[in-house]
Amino acid sequence: DLLSASLSENPPAFTHELGVFREGFNAELDRLRKLRAEGRGWIVKFEKEQREATSIPSLKVKFNNVLGYFIEVTKTHLSKVPEHYIRRQTTTNAERFVTDALKSHEQELNSAEQNQRDLELRLFQELSESLRSYTIDLRRLSTNLCCLDVVSALSQTSDQEGFVRPQLDASRDLEINDGYHPVVSKLLEGKFVPNSLQLAQNGSALAIVTGPNMGGKSTFLRQAALIVIMAQIGCFVPARQARIGLVDKIFARIGASDDLAEGDSTFMVEMREVSHIISNASGRSLLLVDEVGRGTATTDGIAIAQALLEWLATKLKARTLFATHFHELTELSEEFPIITNLSVGAVDQDGEVLFTHEICKGAASRSYGIEVARLAGLPGGLLERARELLLSHISDFPVLESARNRSSSQQLSFFDQHSPAALPDDYQALKEISKALAEFDCDNSTPLEAMNFLNALCLKIREFGG
């Protein structure tokens, strides 16, 4: 009853702001409020009187924090200004004045405002002191109201958005059918493409996600984490169906940034984040790893990425989404049953590459980097040169070394140490032709480019006696 009788309907957030208490709670406070209200009315009346007395229709009484209240007269009417006006400031188009009456009234207003502020602060302190004995009860009530607020908000949102009740269990599985990002889907207004995810404790718990930039890999990783978090805080989730084995921690190595204050490069920051994951994750954790190794040379980057994947597959065995543009890493699924491949779809439509944003089983054949560069507006000549360089270097990419084919010393080796010349001629020819075919951009190539590419392949085949 005391709080209801004292505090206003919408009190300010801070006690130094006016309007904390209701009218009628304190007689002196009401008097000061009335004085301030009448004071503002006096200003309006004063302005009207000065216009009539000076015959200056544009005369205005204004206020700012520097001058306080002042009379502003445009320069076209300066000849009509009375002698008792005291000049305070000159602007480009006007002069500003005060009078003794205006200054006196301003002092009264300021005094009333400060008195009201001091009185409200004192009354608030007295009210707080009178409630001190109820502190424990009020804190308990506040906590309960906070919980009720959160639960009701989650319930309302779940109902409005059509979220579903997830199934939580003690397994280490993660099964999401037609899941979607709760925020991005709202921004896209019905254009968001739902995707499914299955990570199984006794099956494929580690998914390598490949595909083009702008295809939705990072969003797919984030939505999986958000669905897990929402489920474990008691909220329904954005999916058609979800079964979630309890997760103890979520680790995310996403994005690229340096640390100028510490002098750390983007790659150093990335490696520290990976180190943190390795040191703190458990088999019940959920790991989101996006583009590990891209901050250094390609060969070093693939080496680190493969080593990390092998460590996750053999040591930690936690549920992991591992997004990468190192397509060579997808071959690890043949060696480690725990690893599966997922990819982001893309289709050709009237010569244009369109990203479907669908997550499909299997590895992507390419990253469509040149197509993304075209969408970003890079010049045609630059893109054409990039295609030429891609074809000329297509057989120079590193080859993964199987974990089972290491030397007897068990020294960590990530790449095939045999030179291309040491391989049988027919194998080398097949490898180069296969890579060239896999990387050739059929969707965005002209007929002439396609014919030139086919002619180059024919020459290579004849070269090896084909």
Q: What is the pLDDT of residues 305-360, one digit of tens each?
A: 999 999 999 999 999 999 998 888 999 999 999 999 999 887 766 657 777 889 99
Residues 70 and 171 in one domain: no
Residues 115 and 187 in one domain: no
Q: What sign for the dihedral angle of Cα 126, 130, 136, 138?
A: negative
Residues 232 and 280 in one domain: yes
pLDDT number for residue 123: 92
As for how many domains the chain has, the answer is: 3
Tell me which of 366, 386, 415 is where a domain ends. Answer: 366
Residue 423 has pLDDT above 50, yes or no: no
| % of the chain surpassing 90 pLDDT | 46
Q: Where are the alpha helices (H) located in 255-379, listed in sequence order?
A: 266-280, 298-311, 369-375
138: in domain: no
Residue 235 has pLDDT above 90, yes or no: yes
Residues 264 and 176 in one domain: yes
Higher pLDDT pick, 20 / 241: 241
| E-strand stretches of 318-447 | 319-323, 339-349, 352-361
Instruction: Point out the least confidently predicted range of 5-19, 28-42, 408-422.
Output: 408-422
344: in domain: yes
pLDDT number for residue 398: 55
114: in domain: yes
Residues 297 and 428 in one domain: no
Beta bridge partners of 359: 344
What does DSSP assign to residue 166?
A: P
pLDDT digits (tens, 9 = 90+) for 151-181: 999 999 999 999 999 999 999 999 999 999 9
Beta bridge partners of 69: 63
d(CA 319, CA 283): 8
Residues 75 and 183 in one domain: no
**pLDDT grade for 393, boundaries at 50, 70 and 90:** low
Residue 132 has pLDDT above 70, yes or no: yes
pLDDT number for residue 413: 37
Query: Where residue 34 sits, what CATH number does that domain have?
Result: 1.10.1420.10
pLDDT number for residue 403: 55
Residues 247 and 354 in one domain: yes
142: in domain: no
Quote the domain boundaries for residue 124: 2-130
Query: Where residue 264 sits, what CATH number does that domain have?
Result: 3.40.50.300
373: in domain: no
Residues 229 and 270 in one domain: yes
Residues 362 and 383 in one domain: no
Residue 263 has pLDDT above 80, yes or no: no
String of DSSP letters for 346-370: EEEETTEEEEEEEEEES--S---HH
Residue 148 has pLDDT above 70, yes or no: yes
Tell me which of 366, 392, 417 is where a domain ends. Answer: 366
| % of the chain surpassing 70 pLDDT | 86
Residues 311 and 180 in one domain: yes
187: in domain: yes
What is the pLDDT averaged over residues 206-213? 89
Residue 416 has pLDDT above 50, yes or no: no
Tell me which of 130, 155, 190 is where a domain ends. Answer: 130
Residues 359 and 413 in one domain: no
135: in domain: no
Q: In this structure, are residues 69 and 95 in contact, taking their beta carbons and an 8 Å threshold?
A: no
Q: What sign for the dihedral angle of Cα 222, 228, 233, 238?
A: positive
Residues 279 and 428 in one domain: no
439: in domain: yes
